[in-house]
Every structure is written in C-alpha cells, then in structure tokens.
Structure 1
Amino acid sequence: MWWKDSIVYRIDPRSFQDSDDDGMGDVKGITKRMDYIKHVGFNTILLSPMLQPGSVEHIKSTGTLAGFPTNLGSIQDIHNLIQNAHEHGLKILFSLVLSNTSIDHPWFEAAANDKNSEYSSFYLFSDEIPNNWINVSGKKAWSFEERRKQYYHHSYNYDSADLNWRNPELGLIMEEYLAYWLESGVDGFYLQDINTLIKDDALRDNPTNFGIIRRRYERQEHVFDRNRSETHLKLERLRNVVNRYDDRILIGRLQTPDAGEPELSASFLGIESEKMHLVVDRSITNTRFTANRIELSAKRLYEAIGSNRTPVWELIDGSRSRMLGRCGKVEALARLAALFQLTQRGMIILYYGQELGLPDSKLPLYKRLFRKKRAKQTLGPMIWSTGEGSGFSMAEPWIPFARGANRLSVENQLLEEGSILQLYRTLIKLRNRTPALQRGVCSFIQTSNPRLLAYTRETEEERYAVLLNFDERYQRLDVDGVEIRGTVIFSTLRGMASESKGVVLKELGSYEGVILRLGSETEE
C-alpha cells in the first residue's frame, strides 16, 4: 500500500507559484513546478484546503466550483493538475473541510436570504443563542445573521458556518462530491476536524473544565459540540465511497486540545474497511521541540496507533509557525527536525518551504485584522530564485516574502553543498532505499541525558540507531551505560558519512543527529 510510507508535500496553492503574475499563486503554478517536487523526492502532493463542499449537479451544470476563488484557476486547471501529477508518478490528495463553509458560500447565502430555502436545513440556525458553546478562538460560537434575524453556529471564526450533518440530504451530497473527485483521479482526501461533524441534537451546554488551562477554548469539555458517536456512522459512509475505488485513502484530523489526543484520534481509524485509513494527531505538531517532549509524544502516538496501523508525522501544518520558528530560529535544530521526521515509521507530511528552512513572514497589520485580507505568517510565498519576484511572481506578492529570500531560494540551495534542501533530498533518498527506516519497528532507548534522543529502527534484516543532540553544546553519549558501536551512515553536520565499520560513537556535536547501521559484525 503506497500510503504506508509515503512522503507527502503539502502545498498551499496561493503561495507556491503564480502563473499569471497577479501576486497570488494558483493551480497552474503547481503544475509548472511538478519537476521540482519530483526532484526533491516527494511521491505525493497534498493540496491545502482550497475547495469548499458543493453539489456535483452544480459542477456539471455550471462548470464551476462553489466558493472556489477564480484567481486560483478553473475546474479544468484542477483536472489538468491531477493528470500532470500522475504523469510524473505522483499521487495527489485534496485537503477538505466538510464541517463548515464560508458565509460567502452559495448555500449559506441562499439560507440567509430565505428561511424557506432548501439550504436552511444545511446549517444550524436559532432564534436565540441556545447554549454556552465557544469557538476555537474562545469567543461565542453563535453569530447573528441580520437577513434571517437568527443566530448561526460556527466552531471557528464568524466568517464560517457549521454544516448540519444530521440532515441526510447533506450527507448524500458530500458522498457524491467525494465520488466526483475520485472519478477524476484524486488519490484520496485529508479531512480536517472530522470529530466536529455532528453536534448534540438538543444543543445542550458543554460542562466546564475546571483544570488549570490557559487556552479559553479548552475551559469547556466539548462533549456536545464534538466527538458525538453518530459521527463515526457518517465517516463510515464516506469510507464506503472511497472503498469503491482502487488504492484510494482517507486521512482524518481531529479538533482536539493543543496537546493532542492520540488515543481519541486512533479511535477514528479502521482496521480494514471502515473509518479512516490514517489519522493525524496534533500532539506531535504542537509539542515543544525538545528531546524529552518529542520522545513522550512519539511514544504515545506509536502506542495509540499500534503496530498494525500506520502513524502520520506532520511536524507543522501551517496553523501557527513554520519549523524554523518552532525551533527558535535555530537552523541546526530545524535540520535535526528533518532527521527525526524522516526516520519515523509511517506517512511523512512536509509543509511547502519546510525543505528550504523558510522562516515565518512578517505580516502587515491589515493582513492580520480584516477578514477579506486575513492571512497567516506561515503562508509566505515559495522562494524559487534570486532577483525580482524571487521566481514566484513579477507582481507584488499577496503576502510578503520571508526575510533572507535570496539566500534561501531553491536556486541557491540546489547549488550549495550542505544546504538544508540538500539535507532533505539526501534523507529522503536514504529513507526510500532503507526498509527499516520506512516500516521497521521503532524502539526508544533510555538515556540519562535529557538533551539526547535515541531510538532504533529495525526489521528482521537490518537495524539502525538514530541519535539526536538537542543542545548547542557537545554531548557525551550515555545510553544505558552501553557503548554505541556501528557504522555512521549519516550526520546532519556532515551529510552522508564514509563507511567506517565498528566505530564507537562517544559524543555528538552541536545540534547533531546521526544514523548508525548496527549489525552482528559491529556489535559487541
């Protein structure tokens, strides 16, 4: 099954490549850069949410997609992208949010303008605010729609409205929508916030969470606005649609506390034919990037998923900060993150520009405040080359480039030996030819040094140790008092190492990570 060890490249079309010089990336731009994606070593493309739910009838009758920005391209551009990806030997996944739509969506517009509209039952409306629910921003989850003189529910900001998945007609439309894209050649879907589809039918108040919690959203126990048992039935129906097509997948991500809930996420996994093929948990995305925190999160994720199912490793998802920001702007630590991520069992998802070490962009105030212009600091344009427009666009980009654009460009890094892009390419090649790094068992090794992370990856045929120093100072290795003896095949400081068997590794350099091949001929 291709997805069990796939290396996925997550792209936001708006920021990847502008094909028509209007300052914003588009679908044609992704097609233009397909050779680069293949060159780095990715085998799957994941498009960040650009499509909103809609009816297949609308698509076929109008040739357009509901709520799809025209400056991103046409429906034909999307079909061309799918075909081009397959011609390059790449799989392509669509990220979808099926729990809500924009308030600019034709469905919501129709419901807002006419209480008798067929789309009124597609949303949750109420004459009064019916409960104490809050959205992810910690504000009231109900906003007033002036045209209807009613409140509508939104789990996120007021510019989106939650869909009423208790309406069976809506479920059928969603099933047809997935089938349309599967027929078009899409290899699967990354469904976001799948545990928020169904709300309590009586709209009861959420109980208070009396723990010491900083984030306001988590001061409620979200038992009535997410994780309803009926959600699983809806997801099983979506899985049944996907099962009608060969070799397609469903990936699910849950709305959970910042710390993640791997056990809850795992409950949405199927064994064979029901629920999700894969789930993404926020624990590994949001934990502090230190040796002990990463080890605890990784252990918990592996234990929750189990040995017979496949974990997903997504260190950044574009919601907060890029990898460099998460690593305190220490590039050497971002290199360590690359080594950690690409030596885990399962699917790997990298965020566009992660392979370049791009930092966050500094946004002007209006990009942070106004709904129509709102953006995130992680959405800085891809940096392709030096000079005007950085190879992205000849127009002013919709979001400023990250600082140091020329130094970090693809053009420069492909020429620079030892660049972080070259590091990613090397690690991906190494992973792809090493079964133990793809699907081998991962066992963490106890160390007495809190700055070190150590684990083995092994199959019946081969065994490797991965050692990472999370500190800027050299660290002596103390792994259960046992010498680490093997063949160093990779170092984040030196790249691919020469084959020198039987080396006893006594220390790691500043923020250094290494891979050692272990074997009977080198073990004591």
Structure 2
Amino acid sequence: MNDTNNKAIDKDWWRGAVIYQVYPRSFQDSNGDGVGDIRGIAERLDYIAGLGADAVWISPFFTSPMKDFGYDVSNYKDIDPMFGTLADFDAMIEKAHELGLKIMIDLVLSHTSDQHPWFVESRSSRDNPRADWYVWADAKPDGAPPNNWLSIFGGSAWQWDSRRLQYYMHNFLVSQPDLNFHNSEVQDALLDVARFWLDRGVDGFRLDTINFYFHDQQLRDNPALAPERRNDQTAPAVNPYNYQEHLYDKSRPENLAFLKRLRAVMEEYPAVAAVGEVGDSQRGLEIVGEYTSGGDKMQMCYAFEFLAPQPVTPKHVVNSINAFDAAAPEGWACWAFSNHDVVRHLSRWGAGIADKAAYAKMLASLLMTLKGSICLYEGEELGLTEADIAFEDLQDPYGIEFWPEFKGRDGCRTPMVWQAGAVNAGFSTAEKTWLPVSPDHVMKAVDVQQGEDGSVLEHYRRFLALRKSLPALGRGGIAFHRADDDALLIFTRDIEGESVLCVFNISAAPVTARLPDGAWDGLEGAGFSCEADGNTIKLPAWGAYFARKGA
C-alpha cells in the first residue's frame, strides 16, 4: 500500500505537476539485451529527480506479445520478462518514493491482446463464461462486417473469427480486440486491475484511449465527415479513419458512469490521480470537459492541441487555453508538446529553423508557464529531433502499414542518449538495440550537456527550479495581455497576490515589447538575455522575459 509516513498528504499534488514520460523500451537497458527495462528506469530515477520532475509516467510494461509494444496486454497483473519482474517494479517504486517522485503507470483498459486468457476463452464459443467480455457481432446477410466502423491502424474495425463465426471489434490492431464495457463483469475485472497496482504503491494512472471504452450497442454506422472537417490529429492524413464522424464507435455517454466507478476506487487510496488520454480530434475538448467535471471522474485529461502538426503561434496558444477553459471550466489540463506517438516537436514545428537550441529553450519555457500540469517526453530536455529510421529498421506496425507517406512512431522512440563516447550512447551494451541509436542524437547526450550553462538540458533544469519556486506558475490562473499573429505573446500567471509576467518572442527576428503596467521585478535565472528600458523590453529571436510582482 502507499506509505504516507505520517506526512501531510497533498491530494492535489497533480495540479501543476511536471510529469516525465518514460518509454521503457528506450530509456535504459540494464541487462544488455538491447531493450530498456524496469531496473534501467530505477537506475536513472536520480536523473529524473535532478531534472526537477514531480512524477514519472511509465508507458506499458505488462506481459504482452508486443505486437503494439505493450499496448496489447496479455496479463494485466505481471511484468513482461523483457522488462523484469514484479520485484524489480516494487524496488523501483520504493526508490522513486525515496526521491520524492510519484509513479504513474499507463493503463490500457479499452482492449487487450488476442493472447489474453480472457479473449482466448471468449472466442472459444458463444456460450462460455466470458463469451460477452469482448465486442462480438454477427455478419450482415452478405457476410460483410456489421457496420462501417474503421480501425485507427487502417481498414475495417471488424475481424472475422472462424471459431465463433462472428466478427469482433478492434479499434487498433487486429490482435487488439476491444473489451465490452457494457458487461459489468468486465468493469469489475478492470477495477480489480487498478486496485492491484494501487496496492503496489503506484500514485496514479495515465489512461490510454480513455474515450474508446464504450461502443454503441445498436452498432449504428458512423456518418461521413465533410472533407473540410477532416484533420490528422487522431490519425495521419493518409488514413481513411479521418473520413468519418466518430459518433458511435467511441466517446459514448455511458463512459461517464464507469469513470465515476474508477474514481471511487482511486479515492480508497490517500492521494491518487489519473490523466486520461482523449483521442478525439472532433469532440476532444467537449469530452475533456465531461470527463473532468464534478470532482467525481478524472482529475486531468491529456490535451492534444499542442501534439498536432499546427505550429505554436501566439494566437494558437491563446485560442487553445481559452477553448480548454470554456469547454472544461471544472477541468485541469495536462499539456505536452511531444510524446511516444507523435513526431518530436522540434522536428514537427522547427523545419527550417537554424538555431534549434534557442527554439527548444523558448518552447520549454512556454510549456512550463502554461496553466495546467505538463508532460515532458524523455529526450526532449536534450533538444532531440525526430530520428530518421530506415524502412528495414522499422518496428512500428503503424509505420509499416502506411510507409512512406507516414513513417510511424519509431522516429520518436529511439534510445535515450546518456554518454556520447559509450557504446550505444550509454543506453545498452548490446551489439544491436531494438531501434538504432540516432547518430544525430549522440552529441546531445546527457554527459555532453550536463553542467554546460547554455545547454538545452541545463535550461530545462533551471526553468523547472524556477517553476517550483513560484506557486503562480504551478497552480495559478492565467490572463493574456497580447497575442500577435506570429511573434509576441504576453500573459501573466496569478495566485494569492503574486503575479508572474511571461513574455515570449515566437519568431526568428528580434522584437520590442511594452510590458503591462506595474512595478515588475525581472526574474534572474530564467536563462534569457533581454535589453530592458523601463517598461520596454527588447527580446532576441526565440527569446523570452520573465518578471514578478507582489507576494
């Protein structure tokens, strides 16, 4: 169980928290097999704590055939041997808590692997005890699938099963059948999974594809989506998934009752929080509002506004924050610029930008001053760009399916670089790693940047320390003062009499800004050099300025 150590419990620790995402296959290999593991994570927890993070989100490590690299679970209550043992996990939890770090694990509840014993039993007949644990449906009279629903990974969301002579639903890979949440026994089994990990000491969950849990029981066809409404946030533009309005295959109203049940389980423990991934570019913020309302569902939802291809501009920032607050007035955002599913943001937005280090520092400071909690994806603190992976080295089934127009997710999943002069940059001693270490990343390794005052890594450390020292940046409100089309963004973060001024130049040319009225004291240690003349500030390209007053 969670050890409170008789200390005051902060149930709201997640508000303003900095969550560092670890993709376990790529973080640190402790046994030389070319794949990262739980012991490797434990070895590097000091680094994460030293960076200034509050929590660690660990992508799936459960027993799995690894068709989708752990997002296809075959045993929810054990560690895949590739990653270690439950004893390794318990030791990692203990060390994390000693360092003051929370551990959040990635729960994949919407579907399992087709090798999970539940599915093996379910598909064996139409009258076994788990026959209704997955989404099964008869064929149409002509043998076609029951409706027009599509898989995110391409093609129909239905797969014919020759044992039951029925179709089963899969929103993702054919080998990832969807669980039937309309069955209360399924819900009970999954809540039991949550308790299993909470009893081992985890502090929270990142809930994968949280809006995919329920489907329409009438199996109604999704309507077509007008071409002008299509976008590539949920799926790449080459995927016909974007051609439908997804009314019936996900984001169903029945999900709210289950989320209340899950929250009730979490409330049995001292200070547990969850962040839900809402994969719906059509109704995303509306759903976030629903899932975080009332104090009886999820604490946070993972917002996608800054994971899309659309570059960060002042107006995009303002519109995104305001849209979130309007859609989810009771909610709390969790923002990220990169993760394990999208092109790293320095490549996604930074094509043609010469000084990527300066651009990286400005973006880091922007992310860390937005209202909400934030997720940092492993390696972004080093200024890593998307790795170029040859087709023969690809592992991601998504990329293999849609190559070359969409190259998949391997480019953001390559191994972490720790030591420039070591084998595989210190990630592994193996002759071959599961994905190759990017040659472009090696000279950005931790040991190259550590202690270098102008490095991207030291900027992250310095700014995270600044964020922790100013309560307004963690939990305060936000007020926007200026947002140009392509350059100046000015806002303040405010809490209990303290106001922090944040000024950003999101452009490659110097700009001059007039500060809002007030006696502002410039903040030292923010890592930017600006020329000040009274309340007028000259910012260099990709520059920023920070000041405070009050409290």
Q: TM-score, normalised by structure 1?
A: 0.89
Residue 419 of structure 1 pairs with residue 479 of structure 2: no
- 1:72 is aligned, of 79, 83, 92, to 83
Partner in structure 1 of residue 343 of structure 2:
321
SS in 1 for 2:177: strand
Residue 203 of structure 1 pairs with residue 219 of structure 2: yes
Partner in structure 1 of residue 100 of structure 2:
89
Equivalent position amino acid for 1:227 in 2: S
Partner in structure 1 of residue 420 of structure 2:
386
Q: Bigger shift: 413-422 or 133-142?
A: 133-142
Percent of pairs with identical residues = 30
- 1:285 is aligned, of 307, 316, 321, to 307
Distance 1:207 1:27 in 2: 44
Per-residue CA deviations over 1:356-415 (Å, capped at 9, x if unaligned) read 111222223145477499762111111111222211101121112233333211111113
Equivalent position amino acid for 2:511 in 1: Q
Residue 504 of structure 1 pairs with residue 535 of structure 2: yes
Superposed CA RMSD:
2.6
Per-residue CA deviations over 1:257-283 (Å, capped at 9, x if unaligned) read 1x76223211111433x1111111212
- CA gap of 1:145–1:342, structure 2 versus 1, over 3 A, is same
Distance 2:319 2:511 in 1: 21
Distance 1:171 1:284 in 2: 32
- CA gap of 1:250–1:219, structure 2 versus 1, over 3 A, is same
Distance 2:202 2:396 in 1: 34
Q: Bigger shift: 172-181 or 64-73?
A: 64-73
Unaligned runs of 5+ in 1: 54-63
Partner in structure 1 of residue 323 of structure 2:
300
- CA gap of 1:370–1:10, structure 2 versus 1, over 3 A, is closer
CA positional deviation for 1:518: 4.1
SS in 1 for 2:207: strand
Q: Bigger shift: 281-290 or 437-446?
A: 281-290
Residue 311 of structure 1 pairs with residue 333 of structure 2: yes
Per-residue CA deviations over 1:197-238 (Å, capped at 9, x if unaligned) read 111111111122225125432322211111222111111111
Partner in structure 2 of residue 231 of structure 1:
255
Per-residue CA deviations over 1:432-459 (Å, capped at 9, x if unaligned) read 0111111222111134563211111122
Q: Is the 8 A contact 1:199 1:224 kept in 2?
A: yes
CA positional deviation for 1:13: 0.8
Distance 1:465 1:136 in 2: 42
- CA gap of 1:448–1:169, structure 2 versus 1, over 3 A, is closer
- CA gap of 1:372–1:507, structure 2 versus 1, over 3 A, is closer
Q: Is the 8 A contact 2:293 2:328 kept in 1?
A: no
Residue 31 of structure 1 pairs with residue 55 of structure 2: no
Equivalent position amino acid for 1:489 in 2: L
Residue 429 of structure 1 pairs with residue 465 of structure 2: yes
Distance 1:411 1:459 in 2: 37
SS in 2 for 1:397: coil
Q: Is the 8 A contact 1:448 1:478 kept in 2?
A: no
Q: Is the 8 A contact 2:17 2:373 kept in 1?
A: yes
CA positional deviation for 1:284: 3.0
SS in 2 for 1:285: coil
Q: Is the 8 A contact 2:482 2:488 kept in 1?
A: no
Q: Is the 8 A contact 1:483 1:505 kept in 2?
A: no
- 1:487 is aligned, of 499, 506, 521, to 521
Partner in structure 2 of residue 43 of structure 1:
54
CA positional deviation for 1:95: 1.2
CA positional deviation for 1:149: 3.8
Equivalent position amino acid for 2:204 in 1: G
Equivalent position amino acid for 1:456 in 2: T
- 2:280 is aligned, of 234, 248, 256, to 256
- Size of the alignment, in residue pairs? 502
Residue 335 of structure 1 pairs with residue 361 of structure 2: yes
Equivalent position amino acid for 2:349 in 1: C
Distance 1:149 1:430 in 2: 61
Q: Which structure has more helix as a fraction of its residues?
A: 1
Per-residue CA deviations over 1:116-157 (Å, capped at 9, x if unaligned) read 443332211233210011122452111223444432211122
SS in 2 for 1:421: helix
Distance 2:163 2:526 in 1: 59
- 1:243 is aligned, of 228, 250, 267, to 267
Residue 7 of structure 1 pairs with residue 18 of structure 2: yes
Distance 2:223 2:303 in 1: 24
Q: Bigger shift: 341-350 or 511-520?
A: 511-520
Equivalent position amino acid for 2:305 in 1: S
Equivalent position amino acid for 1:468 in 2: F
Distance 1:492 1:283 in 2: 26
Per-residue CA deviations over 1:87-106 (Å, capped at 9, x if unaligned) read 21111111111001122333
- CA gap of 1:405–1:229, structure 2 versus 1, over 3 A, is closer
Q: Is the 8 A contact 2:28 2:37 kept in 1?
A: yes
SS in 1 for 2:502: strand
SS in 1 for 2:14: helix
Residue 441 of structure 1 pairs with residue 482 of structure 2: no
- CA gap of 1:373–1:101, structure 2 versus 1, over 3 A, is farther
Distance 2:84 2:412 in 1: 22
Partner in structure 1 of residue 33 of structure 2:
22
Distance 2:372 2:396 in 1: 39
- CA gap of 1:485–1:410, structure 2 versus 1, over 3 A, is same
Equivalent position amino acid for 2:319 in 1: L
- 1:267 is aligned, of 290, 311, 317, to 290
Q: How does 1:147-186 map to 2 (within 5 A)?
A: 147-186=163-202
- CA gap of 1:488–1:505, structure 2 versus 1, over 3 A, is farther
Equivalent position amino acid for 1:89 in 2: G
CA positional deviation for 1:309: 4.2
SS in 2 for 1:359: coil
Q: Is the 8 A contact 2:150 2:171 kept in 1?
A: yes
Q: Is the 8 A contact 2:394 2:410 kept in 1?
A: yes
Partner in structure 1 of residue 410 of structure 2:
376
CA positional deviation for 1:33: 0.9
Unaligned runs of 5+ in 2: 1-11, 65-74, 140-144, 232-236, 401-408
Q: Is the 8 A contact 2:514 2:536 kept in 1?
A: no
Q: Is the 8 A contact 1:288 1:294 kept in 2?
A: no
Partner in structure 2 of residue 359 of structure 1:
385
Q: Bigger shift: 69-78 or 501-510?
A: 501-510
Equivalent position amino acid for 2:426 in 1: G
Equivalent position amino acid for 1:245 in 2: Y
- CA gap of 1:3–1:483, structure 2 versus 1, over 3 A, is closer
Equivalent position amino acid for 1:279 in 2: C
Residue 344 of structure 1 pairs with residue 370 of structure 2: yes
Distance 1:52 1:251 in 2: 23
- CA gap of 1:404–1:370, structure 2 versus 1, over 3 A, is closer
Per-residue CA deviations over 1:29-67 (Å, capped at 9, x if unaligned) read 0011111111111121111123379xxxxxxxxxx7568
- CA gap of 1:135–1:229, structure 2 versus 1, over 3 A, is same
SS in 1 for 2:366: helix
